[in-house]
Amino acid sequence: MSAALESDSDVSALAEEDVLRARFYGLMARLLASAPDGDALEVLRSLQGDDTEMGVALGALASAASAHDPESAEDEYNALFIGVTRGDLVPYGSFYLTGFLNEKPLAALRATMMKLEIERGDATSNPEDHIASVCEMMAGLINASFGPAEAGTPESLRLQKTFFAQHIAPWAGRFFADLEGAEKASLYRPLGTVGRLFVAIEEEAFRMVE
């Protein structure tokens, strides 16, 4: 909790819309890296919807969170993403773009990570082109946690636009749509909707940036 608040006060240059964008990426990163624990579910239950398409999806996510506890959330997460050898969904850029893991999209992401000096958090062997990972990188770019640009500048926005175009736009919308329609999804179904809508919003917003 303090880490998130810390980064908010560090980036006083950020407009409210960008703070919200970073939080959305953070929300998706958190829920797609692992199932929500009790605290995270509590936060999801408190999300307020409004009558925009996104607001309705957020309200549905809040309702779904009310119908779940950490155990059922974990069961669902495992069924969707882990399985025995693999889950129903394989949320990696390489898989969505080539049908296989550890392909060119991963190599391209690693090249970007080197350029932006983004390091791996630990010694895990999971490929970095996982949806949670690229979402967290986008949040980091918005907050200027790494990269050469200052937070809230046009330069930062161009960096974000490039990263989004290369590592998220080609596949993330399809992944979220798949999540939305996954048979075993219940808590994660509205997250799929939220993610799909958010990717579309980001695409539209970036079209307004040169």
Partner 1 sequence: MSELDKKEGLDRRSFLRGVGLSAGAAGAGAAVMSGSKSAEAAVDGAGKKAAGYQETELVRQAYELSRF
Residue 22 vs 182, nearer CB to partner 1: 22
Per-residue DSSP letter, 130: B
| Closest CA relative to residue 42, chosen from 57, 62, 12 | 62
Going by the DSSP 8-state scheme, the letter that residue 81 receives in this structure is I
Which one of 67, 69, 104, 126 is in contact with partner 1 (CB under 8 A)?
A: 126
* Cβ proximity to partner 1, 99 vs 208, nearer residue: 208
- Subset of 131-160 contacting partner 1 (CB under 8 A): 132-133, 135-137, 139-140, 145-146, 154
Integer CA distances (angstroms), 134 to 32, 47, 105, 113, in order: 11, 23, 12, 10
> For partner 1, which is the closer residue by CB, 59 or 170?
59
Contact 133, 166 (CB under 8 A): no
Phi-psi region of 120 (alpha: psi -120 to 50; beta: other; left: phi over 0): beta
Shortest Å distance, C-beta 153 to partner 1: 8
> CA–CA separation, 188 vs 185, rounded Å?
5
CB of 171 to partner 1, least distance (A): 16
Under 8 Å between Cβ of 73 and 35: yes
Q: Scanning residues 35 to 54, which ones bind partner 1 (CB under 8 A)? A: 35-36, 39-40, 43-44, 46-50, 52-54
Shortest distance, position 107 Cβ to partner 1, whole Å: 16
Under the binding rule (CB under 8 A), the answer on residue 209 touching partner 1 is: yes
| Residues 78-107 close enough to bind partner 1 by CB under 8 A | 78, 81-82
The one among 76, 128, 178, 180 contacting partner 1 by CB under 8 A: 128
